[in-house]
Amino acid sequence: MKKLAKALSFTLAAATVLSTTAFADDTFKIGSIGPVTGPAAAYGSAVMNAAQIAVDEINEAGGVNGALLEFNPQDDTLDAEAAVNAYNKLKDWGMQMLLGTVTSACCIEVESYAVEDNMFLLTPSGSAVDCITAGDNAFRVCFSDPDQGAASARYIGENGLAEKVGVIYDSSDVYSSGIFATFRAEAENQPFEIVEDAVGAFTADSKTDFSVQLQKAKDAGVDLVYLPIYYNEASLIFTQAAAMDFSPLWFGVDGMDGILSVDGFDNSLAEGVMLLTPFSADAEDELTQNFVAKYQDLYGEVPNQFAADAYDGVYAIKAALEASGATADMSASEICDLLKVAMTEISLDGLTGTGMTWDASGEPTKAPKAVVIEDGAYKGM
Amino acid sequence: MTGMKKKKLISNFITYGIVIIAFIIVQIMQSTGNLSSMMTGLLVPLCVYVVLAVSLNLVVGISGELSLGHAGFMCIGAFAGAFFSKCTQNTITVGGLRFFLALLIGAAFAALFGLLIGIPVLRLKGDYLAIVTLAFGEIIKNVINVFYVGVDSHGVHVSMKDQFSLGMEPDGMLILNGPQGITGTPKDASFLAGIILILVTLFVVLNLIDSRDGRAIKSIRDNRIAAESIGINITKYKLMAFTVSAALAGAAGSLYAHNLATLQAKKFDYNLSILALVFVVLGGIGNIRGSVIAAVVLTALPELLRDMAEYRMLIYAIVLIVMMIFNWAPKALEWRERYLGRFFRKSVKEGK
């Protein structure tokens, strides 16, 4: 009896020891949460890597308001429950600002806690509307889903790209179905129609075979297939469509970015694919080229849009900290109160847009860029 | 005979005692501000997994059937409970009462499905039973994935296509959004509620085991033919264990759902069923107290290892393997008996 009670209290005591680790007051502590392991590890790792690059750059240049930045990435394995644990762990560490979380569903969960704590939250890539609606403490770097869906529909309509449109989307993903919902709403005002028979849904459990969805789209005779999905599934779709001799126009969103770096994917299949993205690794401005070179140097791959969003996120926090004059010895709540005002005042020239601004709702204002893949590279449209 | 009874009673009270002492320790730590945010956040999930493990042990350990679909019952309980709370959010404003009803509803729905699924499934045994329960667990998850349910002034709308075909009025509220599940469930769960649920679960399971019905269930496990020959109704007793277990898993699911703002069916995949089985096996099949301890240790471990960054999942796996060997390998048992046996016996005497 004694022994077992001891064993139990040991577990609890171990946690207390961890919680009381001393921390210095002369650094700004930025936490981040994302899937570093598991099915979405590619996105989480990209964010953590790029944020680390940005933090190191800032520290080399002397830090912010006389204090250095400290960055602590935590894994959530794409699970909302683990994301909350990670958030609590970061709070114990003394986190003052949260860059994250990376994915939408986890972000909604964490935000419900961050609001209560008045913790500043800047999600690099959580694009679902609800990620930042729970309170005024939350902001985001990427576009929200409705923005993208409506912008895609307008782009297709205004440029007369198609008359009959098919869609393949992931109904288990907030990101994908959110974009599709607004795409469908905006499509009613546009001169093309979405063919109901050619709307194919899949879920996270069934994302390896798309022949049914493609056959339906083919039978319906659509001219364009809209793909509000991530590039991994898109690469399978292109390969399977080529095998069944189906070649409509393809139109993607920012999740499509990265398609040219999929292992074992024949890049010629992506020829002519159009996508809306705020970032392309082939852009020729100095900022992008420096970032891409540094990222490739350190991690051996071409950064995707998640990485770019995270990099901009860190610089947005830096700009807001400078504008607000916050100091490192303030509590998370005090910093949050300052930052949520400062965020609406700054303007940032970053990788994912120039002159980015934020409003009090937390949404960024930047122009989406449409690009087309030609000769294995992005070209502006 | 009375000696055995007394021994059992003491053993049961030790199990209750551990839970109550853990509760008191946590309360003291919390009131003196010694409990980290991470542990505070982990309290309710720990309760959820303890209840899940204990309920599964009833099927695996006591009734001797290998079930791999336990997450499915938890899923039903979670969605039934969350659905109820979401619908009555504005009508029942007392959080405690609403949560209590949600727990009952979660347990009732899970019990119903446990009964319905148990009738065909329990005709099988061994590996066949394991495979079929695995399939049912996945079926439950996928069926919930295709439902879209909304409520507006005209009543309830149900669709199996997508949320646009619900045809709701603008004032309507989308409750179940297909694979994206239920968001915005009121966070009614508390550690106290979790502890009470654990105690109720232990009370139900331990009393069932020691009752006449429990002995019948165990006799079926130990020798089916002998049990049948003395007139024990095999189907009835197997179903009883299976349904009670499903109901408790449903209550655990309801507790889980009221601790998080987002609830998605994909969480309840076979990984969770296996995890529950790992708790049971590691704690000792048929050993209820072992399940409680194993669930607590294995749920807390990956979180306590967060400081190891990317190695934590690797270390978690290694710890799991080492613990399994230490607990179950014949050689390890022999070694334990030889070197630690003396020590253990001594401490038992001291405890008395």
Which residue in B has a C-alpha nearest to residue A81's C-alpha? Answer: B260
Q: Could you tell me if residue A354 is inside a domain?
A: yes
The yes-or-no verdict on residue B70 having pLDDT over 70 is yes
Is there a contact between B41 and A8 if contact means CB atoms under 8 Å apart?
A: no
> What does the pLDDT read at residue A22?
39
Asked if B142 reaches chain A (Cβ–Cβ under 8 Å), the answer is yes
- The pair phi, psi for residue B226, each rounded to 5°, is -60, -40
The domain of A347 spans 25-143+288-365
CB neighbours of residue B46 within 10 Å: 24
Chain B residues in contact with A41 (beta carbon < 8 A)? none
- The pair phi, psi for residue A231, each rounded to 5°, is -70, -30
Q: Could you tell me if residue A283 is inside a domain?
A: no
Helix (H) or strand (E) holding A41: helix A41-60
Contact A351, A329 (CB under 8 A): no
Residue carrying structure tokens 């729905």: B109
Question: What is the DSSP secondary structure assignment for residue A282, as one 8-state letter?
Answer: T
Specify whether A37 is located in the same domain as A159: no
- Alpha-carbon gap: B36 to the closest alpha carbon of chain A (Å): 5
Is there a contact between B262 and A15 if contact means CB atoms under 8 Å apart?
A: no
Specify whether A113 is located in the same domain as A151: no
Lowest mean per-residue pLDDT among B107-116, B143-152, B245-254: B143-152
Give the one of A7, A75, A88 whose C-beta lies nearest to B37's C-beta: A88
CB within 8 Å of B286: residues ≥ 6 apart? B57, B61, B62
Mean pLDDT of B302-317: 81
Specify whether A262 is located in the same domain as A317: no
| Candidates B24, B288, B293, B306, partner chain A, best to mutate (most A CBs within 10 A) | B306
Closest CA to B245 of B56, B67, B112: B56
Is there a contact between B36 and A19 if contact means CB atoms under 8 Å apart?
A: yes
| Candidates B15, B36, B138, partner chain A, best to mutate (most A CBs within 10 A) | B36
The domain of B234 spans 2-351
Is there a contact between A91 and B38 if contact means CB atoms under 8 Å apart?
A: yes
> What does the pLDDT read at residue A25?
56
Among A211, A242, A277, the domain-final residue is A277
Q: Could you tell me if residue A311 is inside a domain?
A: yes
For residue A211, the domain's CATH number is 3.40.50.2300
The yes-or-no verdict on residue B197 having pLDDT over 90 is yes
- Please count the structural domains in chain B: 1
Is there a contact between B266 and A205 if contact means CB atoms under 8 Å apart?
A: yes
Q: Could you tell me if residue A126 is inside a domain?
A: yes
Note the helical H segments in A159-304.
Answer: 174-187, 211-219, 231-243, 286-299
| Candidates B42, B74, B258, partner chain A, best to mutate (most A CBs within 10 A) | B42
- Alpha-carbon gap: A224 to the closest alpha carbon of chain B (Å): 22
How far is it, in rounded angstroms, from Cα B68 to Cα B138? 10
The yes-or-no verdict on residue B261 having pLDDT over 90 is no
How much is the pTM? Answer: 0.85
Specify whether A125 is located in the same domain as A39: yes
How far is it, in rounded angstroms, from Cα A339 to Cα A137? 8
| Tens-level pLDDT at each residue, chain A (381 residues) | 444 444 444 444 444 444 433 344 589 999 999 998 877 888 899 999 999 999 999 999 998 988 999 999 999 888 889 999 999 999 999 999 999 899 888 999 999 999 999 999 999 988 888 889 888 999 999 888 878 888 889 888 888 888 899 999 988 777 888 888 889 888 888 888 888 888 888 887 788 889 888 998 989 889 999 999 888 889 899 999 999 988 899 998 887 877 877 778 888 888 888 888 778 777 778 899 999 999 999 998 888 888 999 999 999 999 999 999 889 989 999 999 999 999 999 999 988 888 889 999 999 888 777 788 888 777 776
> What does the pLDDT read at residue B309?
66
Is there a contact between A16 and B178 if contact means CB atoms under 8 Å apart?
A: no
CB within 8 Å of A99: residues ≥ 6 apart? A30, A31, A32, A47, A51, A122, A123, A124, A310, A313, A314, A317
pLDDT tens digits, B170-191: 777 888 888 888 988 888 999 9
Specify whether A192 is located in the same domain as A308: no
pLDDT higher for B319 or A291? Answer: A291
Specify whether A311 is located in the same domain as A229: no
Q: Could you tell me if residue A371 is inside a domain?
A: no
> What does the pLDDT read at residue B92?
83
Among A220, A252, A277, the domain-final residue is A277
Mean pLDDT of B305-325: 83
> What does the pLDDT read at residue A148?
84
Is there a contact between A16 and B35 if contact means CB atoms under 8 Å apart?
A: yes
What ipTM did this prediction achieve? Answer: 0.84
Is there a contact between B179 and A12 if contact means CB atoms under 8 Å apart?
A: no
- Alpha-carbon gap: A172 to the closest alpha carbon of chain B (Å): 4
Q: Could you tell me if residue A170 is inside a domain?
A: yes
For residue B331, the domain's CATH number is 1.10.3470
Specify whether A150 is located in the same domain as A272: yes
Beta strand A249-252 with A348-350: parallel, antiparallel or unpaired? unpaired
Sheet holding A249-252, edge to edge: A193-202, A164-170, A224-227, A249-252, A274-277, A369-374, A377-380
How far is it, in rounded angstroms, from Cα B116 to Cα B239? 10
How far is it, in rounded angstroms, from Cα A257 to Cα A192? 25
- Please count the structural domains in chain A: 2
CB neighbours of residue A125 within 10 Å: 31
Q: How would you classify residue A300: left for phi > 0, otherwise alpha for psi between -120 and 50, otherwise beta?
A: left
How far is it, in rounded angstroms, from Cα A259 to Cα A280? 11
Specify whether A249 is located in the same domain as A307: no
Among A224, A250, A277, the domain-final residue is A277
How far is it, in rounded angstroms, from Cα A167 to Cα A144? 19
Q: Could you tell me if residue A30 is inside a domain?
A: yes
Average pLDDT over chain B reads 89
CA dihedral (A243, A246, A252, A258) in degrees, to 10, reads 20
Q: Could you tell me if residue A2 is inside a domain?
A: no
Specify whether A128 is located in the same domain as A178: no
Asked if B180 reaches chain A (Cβ–Cβ under 8 Å), the answer is yes
Share of chain B above pLDDT 90, in %: 57
